[in-house]
Amino acid sequence: MRCLWMRAIFLFMTTTLSFGSKRDEWWKNTIVYQIYPRSFMDSDGDGVGDLAGITSCLEYFNDIGVGTIWLNPVYKSPMADFGYDVADFKDIDHIFGTMADFDELISKAHQLGLKLLMDFVPNHTSDQHRWFVESRKSKNSTNQYKDYYVWEDPKQDCSDPPHQCIPNNWVSVFGGSVWEWVQERQQFYLHQFLKEQPDLNYANPQVQAEMDDTLRFWLTKGVDGLRMDATRHIYENDKLEDEPLNPDYTDSVPGEHAQYQSLLHTKTVDLPKVYDVTYHWREILDEFSDNPDWPGYPSRLMVVEVYNSHKALLPYYGTSDRRGADFPFNFGLVYLNKENMSGIKIQELVNAWMEDLPPGKWPNWVTGNHDRPRIADRVGITYTRAFNVLNLLLPGTPTSYYGEEIAMGNIWVAFNKTQDPFAINNPNHWENYTRDPERSPMQWDRSHHAGFSTTTGDTWLPVNQNYLSGVNVADQMADNTSTLALYMKLAALRKEQPAFQTNHLKYVIVTENIFSFLRMPDTPGLESFLVIINAGTSNSTDDYSAALKKKMMITEDNSGIVVVSSNMDRNGKPQGICNVHVAAGEAIVIRISVYVINSEPAPSLSPCLILATMLAIIFSGIVFRYQCT
Ligand code: GLC
Ligand code: MG
């Protein structure tokens, strides 16, 4: 009875609120799933994944409860950086298929109710892009592309041959100088990544207009949002001042390429103008958002990729008068590893983001991607399930890297088989840099190549052999205790429970082992959830009743029901909260009714909510017990 009352009040309130708000912020209640297209599903048997392969798997996302997919670049590319070197922003690379395949993918995705995000690569093109092929020819004013890239003369007062007189000390992210000499032009061009990835010149309004046009091209095709690649690198200091040395850097390998970490990047990243570009992109996305010409595409999501301290990321959200990205990726959790994992460390990382979140802005979490080792290798296989619990149940939008839902692990690739240019460019440190291990093919079933490809030859990167021992979708679908079964349960919980659709977060017990938090709905009386993660190396038994009481919260009868446990072996069991035992690496979610006994943690105390709370208490006839027995 009480539940019915409360649900009715909740429904009334949410409907009223959503009529009042203009934007349909669908991305708040979705899971973003990152697909590395070369590695997801190969439809034509060439050993490399493609668009038709992805289209053939779209139902999978409905099955597992994922609402949004993000594709790493599929544009025409010579693949020096596997698609991040774009040769034509408005074409699909033949390895991935055709534009018709893309149209088919987006149309089927939308039919299935899925949103599709593209990667947008604004900082650089491929050196094979028509603009660069033209630009490198001459600096004559008749060359319409002459200023599309960042060209510089050799440094003055330099007695060496011109091609050795590099303009300054800047180092590329992938190793070596950012400057590359072009004989025809007798000038250097700048590349913050590979030399095959020349940086575009954003001081040139024509370049900005071309990129705006690219955005409009994909938005017109109906993409639901974009992830802006390497955004912080768009501008460099005009005076080309040297970057200061990093006092903390020691290069253990003499003669190695100059390392990116050897300098402090005060002149090449996060220049204030970058923020303006972001706000400008927002305006373009908004031309296609909430627009009556675009029924069915209510609001386009913009995410920026910037690796920096969380404080430095905040301006990407926007200012008081200009909106920016819906969120910059929050990579905090990616920095958890075997050495630093603990309940306290997780809280520190979570809290850093939540505490500084600008008012009205939405949090997000990333636990891995195509540039970082997989969770199983970073923090250990014991914690992969708990990591999915954390990612999916913290407040905000989670991004899941493909394969994490079945706990895929890194592969090992020998140097002579290595594909990633980041490793090849840094031969003495290659194992620190290679990104091949986390890019291995998706493991679908127990058939040859894990069902990823029908090729009789090799796949572009080897398949992790653990697909034969349960790390594949088919086996895990058939096992209701699998990591995938857990993922599906968590995704369903997020979708069904109002408590997971707010951004309220209350820490409960946080120790070396335990990170635990409470998720509460906006409306008091609806179910709350206590999420307990044991990130330590020993089991823990703790009194959550006492911990809640310290935070001025009490529960009905000091007990609840386990709605999901990471090992899927406690689901549905009653659970007293005075002594909760959680094994090392385990996570459990307990449904409880929590009442706030002062105003401090209450999300909102409108008269309506006070009335709702009173009604809840009256109808439930609750007898509060303040002590554990
Ligand atoms: C981003 C991508 C990375 C790529 C780089 C250059 O950091 O995530 O994979 O190599 O940009 O485009
Ligand atoms: Mg293929």
What integer pLDDT is reported at residue 523 of this predicted model?
Answer: 84
Backbone angles phi, psi at 199, to 5 degrees: -75, 135
Which of 477, 586, 589 is closest to 64 using CA atoms? 477
CA gap 377, 379 in Å, rounded: 6
Ligand nearest to the CA of 38: 2
pLDDT, one tens digit per residue, over 573-589 is 999 999 999 999 999 99
- In the predicted structure, residue 212 carries a pLDDT above the cut 60: yes
Section 467-489 average pLDDT = 98
Between the two ends of the chain, the Cα-to-Cα distance in Å is 28
- In the predicted structure, residue 13 carries a pLDDT above the cut 70: no
- In the predicted structure, residue 459 carries a pLDDT above the cut 70: yes
Classify burial at 102, counting beta carbons within 10 Å of its beta carbon; exposed 0-12, middle 13-18, buried 19 or more: buried
Q: Whose CA is nearest to atom 3 of ligand 1?
A: 371
Confidence of residue 293 (pLDDT cuts 50, 70, 90): low
What integer pLDDT is reported at residue 620 of this predicted model?
Answer: 45
Using the mean position of ligand 2's atoms as its centre, give its distance from the Cα of residue 33 in Å.
20
Using the mean position of ligand 2's atoms as its centre, give its distance from the Cα of residue 231 in Å.
30
Beta bridge partners of 510: 515
Section 278-299 average pLDDT = 81
What integer pLDDT is reported at residue 3 of this predicted model?
Answer: 33
What integer pLDDT is reported at residue 133 of this predicted model?
Answer: 98
- On whether the CB atoms of residues 386 and 535 are closer than 8 A, the answer is yes
The first and second tokens of residue 329, run together, are 């990726």
Classify burial at 296, counting beta carbons within 10 Å of its beta carbon; exposed 0-12, middle 13-18, buried 19 or more: exposed
CA gap 148, 199 in Å, rounded: 9
What integer pLDDT is reported at residue 175 of this predicted model?
Answer: 87
Q: Which homologous superfamily is 5-15+504-627 in?
A: Golgi alpha-mannosidase II (2.60.40.1180)
Those residues with Cβ within 8 angstroms of residue 90's Cβ, 6 or more apart along the chain or in another chain: 75, 214, 217
Does residue 269's CB lie within 6 angstroms of at least one atom of ligand 1? no
Q: Minimum mean pLDDT among 193-197, 278-282, 406-410, 592-596: which range?
A: 592-596
pLDDT, one tens digit per residue, over 83-99 is 999 999 999 999 999 99
pLDDT, one tens digit per residue, over 422-455 is 999 888 889 999 999 999 999 999 999 999 999 9
Q: Could you list the active site residues? A: 119, 229, 305, 370-371
Type of residue at 258: A
Per-domain residue ranges of the chain: 5-15+504-627, 30-113+304-486
What is the chain's mean pLDDT, rounded? 91
What integer pLDDT is reported at residue 296 of this predicted model?
Answer: 56
Does residue 152's CB lie within 6 angstroms of at least one atom of ligand 1? no
Confidence of residue 153 (pLDDT cuts 50, 70, 90): very high
CA gap 497, 527 in Å, rounded: 8
Does residue 423's CB lie within 6 angstroms of at least one atom of ligand 1? no
CA gap 476, 233 in Å, rounded: 41
Using the mean position of ligand 2's atoms as its centre, give its distance from the Cα of residue 18 in Å.
43
Q: What is the CATH number of domain 30-113+304-486?
A: 3.20.20.80
Using the mean position of ligand 2's atoms as its centre, give its distance from the Cα of residue 443 in Å.
15
**How long is the chain?**
629
Using the mean position of ligand 2's atoms as its centre, give its distance from the Cα of residue 256 in Å.
36
Helices (H), 21-98: 51-56, 58-64
Those residues with Cβ within 8 angstroms of residue 19's Cβ, 6 or more apart along the chain or in another chain: none
Section 155-178 average pLDDT = 95
Section 193-213 average pLDDT = 98
Closest ligand 1 atom to Cα of 123: 12
Does residue 371's CB lie within 6 angstroms of at least one atom of ligand 1? yes
CA gap 257, 244 in Å, rounded: 17
Q: Give counts: helices (H), strands (E), the chain.
A: 17, 23
Closest ligand 1 atom to Cα of 422: 10
**Does 602 or 201 have the greater pLDDT score?**
201
pLDDT, one tens digit per residue, over 487-504 is 999 999 999 999 999 999
Confidence of residue 353 (pLDDT cuts 50, 70, 90): very high
Q: Which position has the token pair 């802005």?
A: 361
pTM summary value: 0.91
Confidence of residue 609 (pLDDT cuts 50, 70, 90): low
Q: Whose CA is nearest to atom 7 of ligand 1?
A: 230
Q: Whose CA is nearest to atom 12 of ligand 1?
A: 84
Section 129-139 average pLDDT = 98
What integer pLDDT is reported at residue 252 of this predicted model?
Answer: 62
- In the predicted structure, residue 318 carries a pLDDT above the cut 90: yes
Q: Minimum mean pLDDT among 17-31, 63-77, 374-388: which range?
A: 17-31
Classify burial at 437, counting beta carbons within 10 Å of its beta carbon; exposed 0-12, middle 13-18, buried 19 or more: buried
Section 185-189 average pLDDT = 98
Confidence of residue 289 (pLDDT cuts 50, 70, 90): confident
- In the predicted structure, residue 183 carries a pLDDT above the cut 60: yes
Section 528-538 average pLDDT = 97
What integer pLDDT is reported at residue 220 of this predicted model?
Answer: 93
CA gap 206, 503 in Å, rounded: 41
What integer pLDDT is reported at residue 597 of this predicted model?
Answer: 82
Confidence of residue 12 (pLDDT cuts 50, 70, 90): very low
What integer pLDDT is reported at residue 34 of this predicted model?
Answer: 98
Confidence of residue 259 (pLDDT cuts 50, 70, 90): confident
